[in-house]
Amino acid sequence: MKKLLSDWKGYLMSGISYMIPTVIGGAMIVGIPQLIGMVFGVNDLTKYKSAEGFFHILYQINQVGWIGIGLVNLVIAGYVAYAIGDKPALGAGFIGGQLASNINAGFLGALVAGFVAGYVARYCRRIKVGEAWKSAVPLLIVPLLTTGAVALVEGVILAGPLSWLNTTLVAWVKAMINNHTNGAIVALVLGGMIGTDLGGPINKAAWMVGNILFIEGIYGPALMTNIAICCIPLGYAIATFIYPRKRFSDEMFMAGRNNLIMGSFGITEGAIPFFLISPLKLLPVNMIGGALGAVTGELLGMKSHIPPLGGLPGIITADNKFAYIAGIAAGALFIGLVAPLVVNFNVSSDEEENDVSEDDIKIDIE
């Protein structure tokens, strides 16, 4: 059972890794034209749908981005299927992902499609036929069985339940975000998850929750995760400015300064070198910092009416820019102040004191 759950986690992470460029690319192509329009006082590009000229071009580019965001279910279903059943599962996974969007089954429906297509394709490897019919297996039998299974399971048997579950979950999330008290709870949870494994499965799950809701027009959770992602690496960068140089080894000092860039563009992996020095001590620091940043932004009323960009560029797409900046500052300052108090980052000097070289070892043989 443990191996099965580990395998499922791997398949899901594979699908998410392929989905991430789709979401980021789509969000940027949606956001940038809208930002350009806002510079010229145009807040709604849809008014120029049938017009001509510069703003019509911005509208057309903007719509390409929305197409990319709309492909999220298709991509994740296809590549979860691919991770399980290899190339024979890919087509049925894509079809199932698009079906999930069409029947309003959402991300959960896409996962169901990916797993069904993947496992049916894997089962098809056992099919034995005569030499004359071998070419028919990948061309006819596998596509028929994989796509047929997806159509039966997701399109017929689970269509109603999955649609109901997705609609209910989306309504529940919307209600929580609209209520600042409940929204703060969501921010605490997502911010804390971002700070756990720094780019690992839990971190990616929180990011996915925030960004998968793009499709439903809910941008609050994405803002929460974006703040937490920024403030953790930026916290370690700030620490190198707050504390004396001698508190950091050369490697950690340079890693901290590099985190100015990593944090600015929302790359939590920049904090990993610090985290590995003492994971048990820094895990709660990172989690509290991420949660503090996200909840600060939420309580100050951060929101966005367009898909938010990640990192510090997200300041541009945030409607309440002060709330977004304050959230990042709060989480980063907490980590920058607390982390060096609980962990010594001058690791190289400590290690040199304890290292014993082979030349120093003397063995007496009598």
Residues 336 and 236 sit within 8 Å (Cβ to Cβ):
yes
Q: With CA atoms as reference, report the closest residue to 12 among 72, 68, 71, 77.
A: 77
Q: Is the pLDDT of residue 350 over 50?
A: no
Rounded Cα gap, residues 116 and 113, in angstroms: 5
DSSP-derived letter for residue 308 is P
Over the stretch 250-303, which tens digit does the pLDDT of each residue have?
Answer: 999 999 999 999 999 888 888 999 999 999 999 999 999 999 999 999 999 998
Rounded Cα gap, residues 194 and 202, in angstroms: 7
- The residues pairing with 248 across neighbouring beta strands, listed in sequence order, are 345
Q: Is the pLDDT of residue 13 over 90?
A: no
Rounded Cα gap, residues 349 and 178, in angstroms: 51
Q: Is the pLDDT of residue 358 over 70?
A: no
Rounded Cα gap, residues 300 and 287, in angstroms: 20
DSSP-derived letter for residue 137 is I
Q: Burial of 118 by CB count in 10 Å (0-12 exposed, 13-18 middle, 19+ buried)?
A: buried
Over the stretch 97-143, which tens digit does the pLDDT of each residue have?
Answer: 999 989 988 888 999 999 999 999 999 988 888 777 778 888 888 99
Q: Given phi > 0 = left and psi -120 to 50 = alpha, else beta, which region is 78?
A: alpha
Residues above pLDDT 70, as percent of the chain: 94
